[in-house]
Amino acid sequence: MFCYQCEETLNGTGCTKNGVCGKKGDVADLQDDLMYLLKSIAFYNSKARANGLNDARTDKFMLDGMFATVTNTNFSKTDFERLISEGFEIKDGIKQKLLAAKVIDEKSGSSFPRWIKEKLLGASPNAGQELPLMAKVTPESLANINTGILATENEDIRSLRELLTYGLKGIAAYAHHASVLGYRDDDIMAFMENALLATMDDEMGVDELVPMVMECGSKGVATLALLDKANTTTYGNPEPTAVNIGVRENPAILISGHDLRDMERLLEQTQGTGVDVYTHGEMLPANSYPAFKKYDNFVGNYGGSWWKQKEEFEKFNGPILMTTNCLVPPKESYLNRIYTTSIVGFDGVTHINPDENGAKDFSAIIEQAKACKPPEQLEEGTIMGGFAHVSALSVADKIIEAVKAGQIKKFIVMAGCDGRHKERDYYTDFAEALPEDTVILTAGCAKYRYNKLDLGDIGGIPRVIDAGQCNDSYSLVVIAQKLAEAFGLEDINDLPVSYNIAWYEQKAVLVLLALLSLGVKNITLGPKLPAFVSPNVLNVLVEQFNIRPNATVEEDLKVLL
Ligand code: SF4
Ligand code: SF3
């Protein structure tokens, strides 16, 4: 195996035996194979899409497959074997459709027009080209192909291909969330296919790949906007909410991950059963949605961010439902209390599948909960959340006034991910060291490093404005754009806003690309720069966007203030 897609990759270079995340070598290899197969499906499906022959099943498979390879989502060998065999079936199905419609010709791959180049670069089709190898892949040949990352020898090309791939995984994750609520966008799917193909196109060099990476960022903005629409149309606009972090005396279920549809299902099914529901990790923002607040058995949030699972799941006592990443390989002691659903997987853990109508039955979890002890109290009090763009902008006048009066000197965007390494204490120290006339804007699980500090407020405006999950990063973009408008600024970089972003997995890579595509400059990134960014690619990012790695709290305060 070789994997360097996340921030915690071994020695900052790459995991080669087992993942630091707990991913085993055989699963990592299967993930590489699946990604390769998805590229081959993308090849045929983009042709199908151009001819109106595409179908919803393939789109769903693309999103499921790519999301499953995101860090801490799926550790199950059986799941990846199943995905790969389903992938071949899907690929062959599309190919048959294309043959039947005479879009392609079985005999002569060589007469296949060079449509990849045509579509991506506007160059004229070049007849006489062979079908790309990945389009011809079969279950037998897959075993003999090096599908790994290191198969691309040129370090800079590899770096850009992987940067693009991880951005696409982020798009897939967010598009997946939107699609379970019925919001889909053909353009986003078409881009995903073309960009996946670009990662296989040996004729694309640095000059072609860099714009593709930027386009991935702008498609990321579109995907996040779609997801924002899906969430707020379905569940209402989050409201500023003091979320309870204490516990009650009832048996309970803990729900984590990012999937609001599963959240809704669980609340519906636990009504009147005497079983309480708590959120963990990235599900915390569910506490701020009007549609969920109405359930009286929805108690609040339990514990901290994803990496504290081992300790906190043990103390929770009741069953835990993982709807998406981040799953930490469970301890034996609570293995029988963990349930996965959707694209999450771990061999030996009960998985809840939807029935043919898409309904999910959580009754087994509820029954188990009834026999469990109530959760052990970890802490008490409340934390503030629910400042997605609508509620944040409802106090925009107050914010603008505070800026004009000099009460707020700076906003620091500290969005992104949390992680298990000690060096992330930096973010707690940084938040604590910020002067009192600064306001933190956040989204994602990065907030757990400072959302329980008593940072106070500025004239009623909390010093930590939490827009929600990483899925809600679009809110931060809207808030910045509206502030720029209110101050009459043309350039978003002229706002009194600095960026100190913490990343961990591939969705954060996409959020970063989304910010770059909007022209945001001077981002500080940490706690470590991505291992997959080569020195030359880093130079491009520094030259064009002035990205810098974080340093010490003192130094970064100077730079960012
Ligand atoms: Fe290593 Fe991260 Fe890949 Fe896991 S996801 S194998 S920790 S680089
Ligand atoms: Fe966190 Fe996994 Fe990235 Fe949604 S839960 S932000 S790391």
Stretch (H or E) spanning 400: helix 396-404
Per-residue pLDDT, averaged over 78-83, amounts to 98
Q: Is the CB of 9 under 6 A from ligand 1?
A: yes
Domains of the chain in start order, with CATH, are 10-233 (1.20.1270.20), 242-370 (3.40.50.2030), 388-560 (3.40.50.2030)
Question: For residue 107, what pLDDT is reported?
Answer: 57
Confidence of residue 121 (pLDDT cuts 50, 70, 90): very low
Q: Which of 23-32, 82-91, 465-474, 483-492 has the lowest mean pLDDT?
A: 483-492
Question: For residue 203, what pLDDT is reported?
Answer: 85
Q: Which of 115-129, 150-164, 506-520, 523-537 has the lowest mean pLDDT?
A: 115-129
| Average predicted confidence (pLDDT) for the chain | 94
Give the count of beta carbons closer than 10 Å to the beta carbon of residue 375. Answer: 25
Do residues 459 and 497 lie in contact, with contact meaning Cβ atoms separated by under 8 Å?
Answer: no
Sign (positive or negative) of CA dihedral 43, 342, 161, 119:
positive
- Could you read off the pLDDT of 337-367 as tens digits, one per residue? 999 999 999 999 999 999 999 999 999 999 9
- The residue among 218, 205, 219 whose CA lies nearest residue 159 is 205
Confidence of residue 104 (pLDDT cuts 50, 70, 90): confident
* Ligand 1 atom having least distance to the Cα of 19: 6
CA distance 384 to 287: 10
* Ligand 2 atom having least distance to the Cα of 326: 2
Q: Which of 26-30, 140-144, 293-297, 386-390 has the lowest mean pLDDT?
A: 140-144
- The residue among 552, 307, 559, 557 whose CA lies nearest residue 426 is 552
Whether 275 shows a pLDDT value over 50: the answer reads yes
Per-residue pLDDT, averaged over 527-540, amounts to 97
Question: For residue 162, what pLDDT is reported?
Answer: 98
User: What pTM value is reported for the model?
Assistant: 0.96
Question: For residue 132, what pLDDT is reported?
Answer: 74
Stretch (H or E) spanning 320: strand 320-322
Confidence of residue 331 (pLDDT cuts 50, 70, 90): very high
Summarize the annotated binding site for hybrid [4Fe-2O-2S] cluster as residue ranges: 258, 282, 326, 417, 445, 470, 505, 507
- Could you read off the pLDDT of 43-80 as tens digits, one per residue? 999 989 999 999 999 999 999 999 999 999 999 999 99
| Locus of tokens 């062959």 | 92
Q: Is the CB of 4 under 6 A from ligand 1?
A: yes
Whether 115 shows a pLDDT value over 80: the answer reads no
Confidence of residue 134 (pLDDT cuts 50, 70, 90): confident
Whether 127 shows a pLDDT value over 50: the answer reads no
Per-residue pLDDT, averaged over 222-245, amounts to 98
From the CA of 308, the nearest ligand is 2
Amino acid in position 78: T
192's CB contacts (< 8 A; 6+ apart) are: 42, 62, 66, 168, 171, 172, 175, 219
Alpha carbon separation from 67 to 25, 313, 423, 507, 515 (Å, rounded): 19, 24, 28, 10, 21
- The residue among 478, 486, 412, 423 whose CA lies nearest residue 449 is 423
- Could you read off the pLDDT of 179-206 as tens digits, one per residue? 999 999 999 999 999 999 999 988 899 9
Question: For residue 202, what pLDDT is reported?
Answer: 87
Give the count of beta carbons closer than 10 Å to the beta carbon of residue 12. Answer: 12
- The residue among 489, 491, 490, 512 whose CA lies nearest residue 500 is 512
- The residue among 248, 280, 249, 245 whose CA lies nearest residue 266 is 280
Question: For residue 382, what pLDDT is reported?
Answer: 98
Do residues 7 and 20 lie in contact, with contact meaning Cβ atoms separated by under 8 Å?
Answer: no
- Ligand 2: distance of its center to the CA of 305 in Å? 8
Question: For residue 105, what pLDDT is reported?
Answer: 73
Q: Which of 392-396, 403-407, 498-502 has the lowest mean pLDDT?
A: 392-396
Question: For residue 106, what pLDDT is reported?
Answer: 66
Question: For residue 126, what pLDDT is reported?
Answer: 39
User: Pairing mode, if any, of strands 382-385 and 241-244?
Assistant: antiparallel
Question: For residue 116, what pLDDT is reported?
Answer: 47
* Ligand 2 atom having least distance to the Cα of 469: 4
- The residue among 64, 65, 219 whose CA lies nearest residue 227 is 219
- Best of 8, 174, 418, 420 to mutate for ligand 2, by most ligand atoms within 8 A of CB? 418
- The residue among 217, 224, 226 whose CA lies nearest residue 191 is 217
Stretch (H or E) spanning 94: helix 77-100
